[in-house]
Amino acid sequence: MPGSSRRLILGVVGILVAGGLIGWVYGHAAWGLLVAALVILLWQTRQLLSFNKAVQTRDFEQFRYGEGIWQQMFSRYNYEHERALRAKREYRRLLKEIRRSTDAMPDGAVILDEDNQIIMCNKAAKRLGGLKRKKDRGQRVDNILRDPKLTELLRSNAFAQEIEIPSPVKEEGWLNCRVVPYGANQKLLILRDITEQIRLTKMRRDFVANASHELRSPLTVISGYLDSLSEDVNLEKDWGQPVRQMQQQARRMNTVVAELLELSRLESAGQASKDEVVDVSGLLAAARKSYLGQDDVAEIEVVTESSAQLLAAGNEVESLISNLLSNAVRHTPADGRITLAWRVANGGAEISVTDTGEGIPPDQVPRLTERFYRVHRGRAREDGGVGLGLAIVKHTLNRHDAELRITSDLGKGSEFCCRFPAERVVLEPPVPILSGGKRG
Amino acid sequence: MEASNFTDHISRRFNKDIEDLRNSVLSMGGLVETQLSKAIAAIVSGDSELGLKVANDDYKVNNLEVDIDEECSRILATRAPAAGDLRLIVAIIKTITDLERIGDEAEKIGFLASKLAGMDRPADSYRELKNLGSHVSHMLRDAMNAFARMDVSEALEVVREDELVDDEYDAITRQCITFMMEDPRSIKRVMNVTWAARSLERIGDHAKNICEYVIYMVEGRDVRHTDISEDIVGE
C-alpha cells in the first residue's frame, strides 16, 4: 500500500513539475501547471469510470485501465466481496440446516415475543396447531390457538405449568402446551400431540372400571357362600380357620374393588361443583368421634382455627378426612398424638392431619399417592390398608382444584396438608335468610 | 401480515387500543368455541354435569360482550376512527353480537344435553348431532381464524360451508319426524334432539355472519343478503 501511494503522489507531483517546467521554458508557467493538472484529472477520471464499470459488472477484465492504486483498490474490493459472498452462502446453508432440524422435530415450537406475537414457528407447529408460517407472523398466538386456558397460561407466565387443549386441527385430538423462557424477553411455546396418550389413559381407566365392575358379582356370590359356610354348625372343625380366612380376604377384595371403582369415578369426573357448602370442622369432629372408645389408638385432637366453610362435594371431603385419619391412626403408636386442623392460610384454606408417628423416608414421599404403593413392602397387608387411600385423596383434591402437601420427619411424624384455593372457601358462614327478626 | 393495516397510527396508544380490542374479540371467540365443543361433547356423551356447566358458564360470554361493546363505544367517541379502523370497529360490534348469540345457543344445547342425559339413548348415541356439531365447530373455528388473519378466502369458504350445514339440518329434521311417527312415545326425546339440531344450525348461520363482517372489514363491501358464491375472489 505505501508503495503504491508513494507512486501515485510521485506521479502527480512529477507531472505537475514537468508541466510547470515546460510552461516556464515557454514563459507561461501557470498555463503549464494548468495543462498538467488537466492531464492528471483526465487520467484519474478515466480510471474512476473504469473502476465503476468493473465494480458494477464485477468483471475483473473490464478494469482495463486500472493501474497503481486503482488496481489495488479493485482487487481489495473484489477480495472482500468474494468473502462476503462466501460468508453469506455459509450462513444461508447454516440457517437451512437449523430450519431443517427444527422442522424435523416432532413437537411444534413457536417463538413468541413479549406480547405473545409469533416470530417463527416450525413445521410441526403448522401441522399440530394449524398455524400459517408467513401469514401468522406478528399475529398473537392465542388469536389463532384460541383456548381460554392457553390465553391464561401465556398471560400468567407460569413457565413450569403444562396444559392440555383440544387440537384445533384434529378431531378429538389433544395438544399439550408448555411455555419456556427463551432469549431476551421471548418465549418458546412447545406443542406436543398427546392424543394417543389421552386415548391410552382413557382405555386404562375404562379397563380398570370395567374389570372392577365385573369382579364384583362373582365376589358377592363367593362372600355369600362363605358367610353361610362360616355359620354352618355342621362344618367340620378343620375348616373353621380356612373359611374365616377366606371370608377375611373376600372382604378385603371387596374393599379393593369398591375403592378402585371410586377411584375411576373420581378420575373421570370433572370439576367438583361449588354448590354444596361443607362444614369442615364438623366433619373433623365427626371423624374423631368414630375412633372414640377404641383401645390402642393415639390421642386425636381437633383444632378449628376458622369458621370458614368449604364449597365442595361433602361426601368426598368426608371420605378424604377419614382416609387421612385412618392412615395416621395406623402409623401412630398408641401413646402418640394426632392433630386434625382446619385453618385459613396462604390465600386459601387447609385441612391438615398431623401425627407423631413413624414418619416416611423422604425419597418415598413423592410416590405415596401412587396406587398400591407401600412404604413398607413387608408389613403391607396386616394393617388392613388397601393401598388406594392416598390415591383417592389425591384425585378428590384434584377435583377440587386443591393440592396435597406431605411433609415428614422420619421417626418424628408426618403432616398431610390439603390446601384449597380461595374460590372454594366461604369465610363468613352464610346468614340464614329466615332469621325472623329484623336486622339493622 | 394484513392485520398490520390497523397498527399504523401516529398515536401508539391508538394502535394498542385497537390491537387489544381485536385480541379480546378473539379470546371471546375462543371462549365461545370452548363452550360449543363442551356442549356438543355433553350431548354426545350424555354428560348432564358438563351440560349444566356450559349453561352456567354462559355469563362469562355475556360479560365479555358487554365489556367489548363498551370499549368500542369508547374508541368511537374518543378517537373518531376513519376508513379501515372504523370498519374494524363496526365489524367488531356486530361480530360480538353474533358470538354472544352463539354462546346462548351453546347454553341451550348444554341445557338440552342435561335433559337428554336423563332419557334413554339411541343406539348410535346421537351420531348425527355429533357430525353436525363437528361441522359447525369447524365453521366457527374457520370464521374466527378468518377474523384473526383478515383472510377473505377463508371467510368465503365458511360462507359456502353453511349450505352443507343447512342440508344436514334438513336431513336430521326428516329423520326426527320419521322417529316420531314410528314411535310416538319418543316424541319428547326427539323434540329435544330437534331443538339441539336447530341450535347448531343457527350457530352455523352466526358463523356465516361473522365471515360476512370479515369480508366487509377487509374489502369494505357489504355482502350480506347477496349471492357471493361466484364473488370477490376473482377480483
Give me the CATH number covering residue B168.
1.20.58.220
Higher pLDDT, B172 or B226: B172
Q: Which of A333, A325, A336, A314 is nearest to A389 (CA)?
A: A325
For residue A8, give how far its alpha carbon lies from the nearest alpha carbon of chain B (Å). 54
pLDDT interval class at B139 (50, 70, 90): very high
- Find the helix or strand (DSSP H, E) in which A176 lies: strand A174-182
Same domain, A287 and A418: yes
Answer whether A151 sits within 8 Å of B30, measured CB to CB: yes
Clarify whether residues A138 and A88 are in a common domain: no
Does B234 or A129 have the greater pLDDT score?
A129
Residue B121 lies in a domain: yes
Interface of B with A in 127-146 (CB under 8 A): 134, 141, 144-145
Mean pLDDT of A163-178: 87
Walk across the sheet containing A299-304 and list its strands.
Answer: A299-304, A337-345, A348-355, A413-421, A403-409
Read off the pLDDT of each residue in A313-323 and give the average, rounded to a whole number: 88
Owner of C-alpha cell 460468508: A87
Secondary element (H or E) of residue A242: helix A240-268
* Long-range contacts (CB closer than 8 Å, 24 or more residues apart) made by A127-131: A127/A169, A128/A167, A128/A169, A128/A175, A128/A191, A128/A192, A128/A193, A129/A167, A129/A168, A129/A169, A129/A175, A129/A191, A130/A168, A130/A169, A130/B145
CATH number at residue A287: 3.30.565.10
Q: What's the mean pLDDT in A5-18? A: 87
In a domain? residue B45: yes
Q: Are residues A80 and A171 in the same domain?
A: no
Is residue A412, in this structure, part of any structural domain at all?
yes
The CATH number of residue A165's host domain is 3.30.450.20
Task: Verify that A287 and A417 share a domain, yes or no.
Answer: yes
Please tell me whether residues A25 and A43 are part of one structural domain. Answer: yes
**Average model confidence (pLDDT) for chain A?**
84
> Are B106 and B32 contacting, i.e. CB atoms less than 8 angstroms apart?
yes
| C-beta atoms of B37 and A166 within 8 A | yes
Residue B128 pLDDT > 60: yes
Q: Are A19 and A36 in contact, with CB atoms under 8 Å apart?
A: yes
Write the CA distances from B170 to A181, B44, B157, B165, integer angstroms. Answer: 51, 20, 21, 9
Shared-domain flag, residues A172 and A311: no
The residue among B146, B114, B99 whose CA lies nearest residue B48 is B114
Contact between A407 and A414 (Cβ < 8 Å) = yes
Question: How much is the average pLDDT of A407-436?
Answer: 77
CA distance B62 to B31: 11
What is the total count of domains within chain A?
Answer: 4
Task: Please report the pLDDT score of residue A440 as a whole number.
Answer: 38
Residues of A in Cβ contact (< 8 Å) with B23? 140, 142-143
Would A381 be classed as within a structural domain?
yes
Q: What is the mean pLDDT of chain B?
A: 86
What's residue A429's pLDDT? 58
Q: Chain A contact for B34, CB < 8 A?
A: yes
The answer as to whether A110 is a domain residue is yes
Q: How many CB pairs under 8 A join A and B?
A: 53
- Is residue A331 domain-shared with residue A231, that is, in the same domain? no
| Domain finish residue from A99, A123, A140 | A99
- The reply to whether B225 falls in a domain is no
Helix (H, G, I), strand (E, B) or coil at A420: strand
Residue B229 lies in a domain: no
Q: What would the pLDDT profile of A285-310 be if each residue is shown by its tens digit?
A: 888 888 888 878 888 888 888 888 88
User: Is pTM, for the whole model, over 0.80?
Assistant: no
Closest by Cβ to B31, choosing from A139, A148, A270: A148
pLDDT value at A208 more than 80: yes
pLDDT tens across B186-228, in order? 888 899 999 999 999 999 999 999 999 999 988 888 877 777 6
Q: Are residues A152 and A249 in the same domain?
A: no
Q: Which residue has the cell 392431619?
A: A353
Which residues touch B211 (CB under 8 Å, ≥6 apart)?
A: B143, B146, B155, B156, B158, B159
Query: In this structure, which amino acid lies at residue A432?
Result: P
Kindly report, residue by residue over A137-150, the tens digit of the pLDDT: 888 888 888 888 88
Query: In which domain, by residue range, is B130 found?
Result: 12-219
Q: What mean pLDDT comes out for the span B93-98?
A: 93
Which domain covers residue A55, as residue numbers? 2-99
In a domain, B7, yes or no: no
Give the pLDDT band (50/70/90) at residue B165: very high
* pLDDT one-digit tens code per residue, A239-271: 888 888 888 888 888 888 888 888 888 887 777
According to DSSP, residue A237 is labeled G
Distance CA A356, CA B165 (A): 66
* A40 in a structural domain: yes
**Nearest-by-Cβ selection for A143 from B23, B37, B53:** B23
- B16-54 pLDDT, tens per residue? 888 889 999 999 999 999 999 999 999 988 888 888 889
In a domain, A421, yes or no: yes
Q: A160-177 burial string, b = 16+ CB within 10 Å, else e? A: eeeeebbbbeeeebbbbb
The values of phi and psi at residue A177, to 5°, are -115, 140
| A53 and A136 housed in the same domain | no
Strands A337-345 and A299-304: parallel
Contact with chain B for residue A350, Cβ under 8 A = no
Regarding whether A177 and A52 lie in a shared domain, the answer is no
Any domain includes B231: no
Whether A27 and A85 map to the same domain: the answer is yes
SS3 A218: helix
ipTM (interface predicted TM): 0.80
* In-domain check, residue A439: no
Q: What's the residue count for chain B?
A: 235
Residue B86 has pLDDT above 50, yes or no: yes
Contact at CB, B1 and A138, closer than 8 angstroms? yes
A435 lies in some domain: no
